[in-house]
Amino acid sequence: QICLSLVKLLFYLAHSPLGSIVLLDFQPRQFVMVDGNLKVTDMDDASTEELSCKEDNDCTLEFPTKSFPLKCSAVGKCEGINEKKNLFNAYRYFFTYLLPHSAPPALRPFLSDILNATGDLRYGINETLRAFEKVLHLYKSGLYLQKRPLLLKDYISLKGFRAVEGEDYKCWPSYSHLGCLLSIHGAEEAAAICSSQSQCQSFIVTQQRTWTGRPLASFQSSPTDLVPDASTVVYIKRSASLGERL
């Protein structure tokens, strides 16, 4: 969410009515999330000036660990230097820390491609935004789940019950520090996640939703402590011992 919102912001800056705007003091502290959207808190160091040049050799974009040769345009300006400076700063301050860690495994190659392409400045902001929107579409639609074995058949579903809430085993990247609360496309994906975790014996699909509209599922190690709840369904591994209480 943070990276996509940043890319949308940089897309606007690259195509603003004032021309291409560069953020000269590009640091994470310069941004804040407001209602799910990333905003710039300080525009004092923004500029529409693009580096003047006489030849291509005048247009090297320098960073502490990398440099990129750019073209000198016919009007004597380094082509796309403001856009590329913003994009590489987004890569080194945001993408490298946030993109690799929390996506479903099937989507990580797409994010890795974005990471590599922006890190080498092979993508401009237009291509980067399209790539992010493609990943978001796959994520929201569940298309990344194709060709997976169906595992929900290995679970017993009990309508009108849920497991007692409390501190349980932890997982990454959980939305709760007390247990394992993950974003899913549906019960079938939740079953696949539970089957892949040795501690997991049951799960419920909660009423909570993420910013993409996907539900959150709570995964638990003990399926025996159940309480009535008309709005939920608890899914329990057939191999799990339900005990006398059930």
Residue by residue, DSSP assigns 16-52 as: BTTB--EESS--GGGEEEETTEEEES--TTEE----B
**196: enclosing H helix or E strand:** helix 187-196
179 in Cβ contact with 167 (< 8 Å): yes
Place of tokens 């194709």: 146
| Rg of the chain taking only CA atoms, in angstroms | 23
Q: Is 25 a catalytic residue?
A: yes
Catalytic residue among 25, 42, 58, 225: 25
**Residue 41 phi, psi dihedral angles, 5° rounding:** -90, -20
36 in Cβ contact with 5 (< 8 Å): yes
Residue 127 per-residue DSSP state: H
Residue 167 per-residue DSSP state: -
**143: enclosing H helix or E strand:** none
Count the residues in the chain: 246
Residue 78 per-residue DSSP state: B
Compute, in degrees rounded to 10, the torsion defined by CA atoms 184, 186, 189, 195.
100
Active site residues: 25
